[in-house]
Chains A and B, each alone.
Chain A
Amino acid sequence: MAEIVKLQSVSHLRKTMDDYFVRLKDATETGSKKIAWCTSVGPAELLYSMGFEVYFPENHGAMLGAAKVADNYIPIAVAQGYSPDICSYLTSDVGAFLANETPLQKSGLASVPKPDVLVYNTNQCGEVQDWFEYYAKHFDVPIFGIITPLKINELTETIISGVAKQIEELVPELEKISGIKFDLDKFKETTRLSHDGCVLWRQVLETAQNLPAPINFFDSAIHMGPIVVMRGTKYAVDYYKILLAELEDRIKNNIAAVPTEQIRIYWDGMPLWYKLSSMAKLFSGLDTCVVASTYCNSWVFDDLDPENPFYSAGLAYCKLFIVRSDEEKQKVLEKLMDDFSIDGIIYHDSKTCARNSNNRFGLPVRLQESTNIPYLEINGDLNDSRCFSEEQSIIAIETFIDQLKSRKQ
């Protein structure tokens, strides 16, 4: 029988996330703070340092997916003229907005918090620009974009300083909106907190290098909430100290995320949000732990440097996996395969997120040639469950694990 060992830190996670939503609610109701909407790898440190509460629509998209309600909303956005082939975070989020529904109602917010400004970075994808523009028009508020080049091979000085400069140029605009004068020391402080949070998050993920792993991808995908939405605050730092302590304790006491761990998998691509727990059970039942993933393991911005906050933000947000060339991605993956003792890779080709589907330009074949690690591709989507054929995928996954087990014999 599939056994999943629950992490005790979940209650702290819940409280950390609840408190975050309460801060957004207070800011909305009292007007005590301005609200900035930001993309997941946008300049959160700068926004927090300038006194904004920061809201992340992508986190909202993931909440809709995990609550298994995205499918109710995607058709509403499609009827509004958005293609079902574009980002299903976008379509489910816009659809839910048009339906005037949100899981945040559980946290006491009447609707998503009204933005005073929207800031995006195209480092992850171009869809966020269209997504944010929809809301900028709707709420008639200013919108700013950082445009990052895509598929960066060599990270040159020109690219880094170009992005750093764009971040710096946001300052006077944000001052006008927040009414708060930019304070370099405060920015250094949020940059330090972001750096420290990222280091802790990396250490959390690295505990899965242990055999057996104390945490798996299905946990990490949930526990990464704070590093996404509270990067640059002490709340994220505090939370990851708790989680790390629990995981170190697990290692000491030989407690595994999957007690029968025989096979260690790397997951590339987005989570299937609407199938997170059933996937966790499936793998566990196959004596398999998904020990690392692009989705979680690429979320580490430890190049952030409080002494050089603008430049290091340019560096950290261009160095990010998703914005790199396949050649650079392959190097990162090769190292992860080694560090985490990976037996096999599963690529989730997510129908509506090309940028997070790394199987599309021949990378799986090249990586298999260089590492001799077998791979499997499955077709699905992050939020649109209609793109996922469960029965067929389960058969493919079971067969893949059989294949890996027979290789080990």
Chain B
Amino acid sequence: MYKVGIDLGSSYTKGVLVDSSNQIIDYHLVKTGFDFNRSSKRIIDKFSENFKIDLPIYTCGYGREKLEVESVSNSEIMALAEAVYHLYNKKCSVIDIGGQDTKYIKINEIGKVDKFRMNRKCAAGTGSFLEEIAFRLDVSATEFNSFAEQATETIKINSFCTVFAVSEIVGMIKNGLTMPNIVLGIYNSILDRSFELANIDDSLILTGGIPDYHPIILKLIQKKIPNAVSPEKSQFMAAYGSVLLNTKRVN
């Protein structure tokens, strides 16, 4: 029998399939859209094609309370912390850059959450900031990442507001600044917002959708915190942690 963890995020719904020894054996990602039930059903159906799934489903994220399928809901931050501690087994800080929020979590030696913080209520410093700018400039995530790889210097983007940031960038292009340097500035602006959440004084684990699609983010962070790492498929960590939290409870 297999367990399923689902993280119902504002942009994407992430699912993991976990075997009885708590190993992830499959991942699935769908757009959340307007209906949490539909997006989670698509994940469950996908996994059910080849595996027999155990109920309840373990959920976290924005839409977790609204599911029709039998489920146990968890706090996303607790779930994320659980997965990170399971993988790294040490005191550490986590920065998670997701679709509409960026989170900082401090995990202590015994794997408990000592502290957490979320970005202020606007999208500055989150995935939406990046997505919106990429969309407005008509550039894909991969192109965005490779632009930044070519940068020769960074440019400071001042605006917190996504819409004004785009006007600022258009002005920069008009003034002859290059896309690679501008794009690096955009990434750095996201990092600045993340580092405002806390002064990190221990090892850093980077999670969320952004490091998965924009690996440059990890490289930039490592300039500041050399020991920073990001687990593979880092956007699935909270879904995985939802399963782990409950397995632990049962045991």
Contacts and interface: CB of A to CB of B under 8 A. Distances in A.
Given A391-B62, A392-B101, A395-B62, A403 B78 contact: yes
Nearest to A375: B115
A374 B114 contact: yes
Contacts of A395: 62, 75-77, 118
A407 interface: yes
Interface residues of B, number: 16
A2 B113 CA distance: 26
A396 interface: yes
A346 to B, nearest CB: 13
Interface string A368-394: 000000100101000000011101100
A160 B120 CA distance: 39
B112 interface: yes
B160 interface: no
Interface on chain A toward B: helix, strand, loop, or mixed SS?
A: helix
A67 B168 CA distance: 41
Given A395-B76, A403-B78, A374 B115 contact: yes
A402 B118 CA distance: 16
Interface string B75-116: 111100000000000000000000011000000000011111
Given A392-B101, A399-B75, A406 B113 contact: yes
A371 to B, nearest CB: 14
B112 A389 contact: no
Pick from A387, A400, A403, A406 the residue with the most CB of B within 10 Å.
A403
B186 to A, nearest CB: 23
A407 B118 contact: no
B77 A399 contact: yes
A392 B76 CA distance: 12
12 contacts: A374-B114, A374-B115, A392-B100, A395-B75, A399-B75, A399-B116, A402-B75, A402-B78, A403-B112, A406-B78, A406-B112, A407-B112
Contacts of B78: 399, 402-403, 406
Contacts of B120: 379
A339 interface: no
A173 interface: no
Contacts of A379: 120-121
B117 interface: yes
Contacts, number: 39
B220 to A, nearest CB: 26
A398 interface: yes
Contacts of B76: 395, 399
Contacts of A391: 62
A398 B62 CA distance: 12
Nearest to B100: A392
Contacts of B101: 392
Given A399-B76, A399-B77, A392 B118 contact: yes
B62 to A, nearest CB: 6
Top 6 nearest A-B pairs by Cβ distance? A389-B121, A399-B75, A399-B77, A403-B113, A402-B75, A402-B78
A244 to B, nearest CB: 38
B124 to A, nearest CB: 13
Contacts of A402: 75, 78, 113
Pick from A379, A396, A399 the residue with the most CB of B within 10 Å.
A399
B116 A403 contact: yes
A388 B116 CA distance: 19
A395 B113 CA distance: 15
B51 to A, nearest CB: 30
A278 to B, nearest CB: 14
Given A392-B100, A392-B118, A399-B113, 7 more contacts: A388-B121, A395-B75, A395-B118, A398-B75, A399-B77, A406-B112, A406-B113
Contacts of B112: 403, 406-407
A398 B118 CA distance: 13
A104 to B, nearest CB: 33
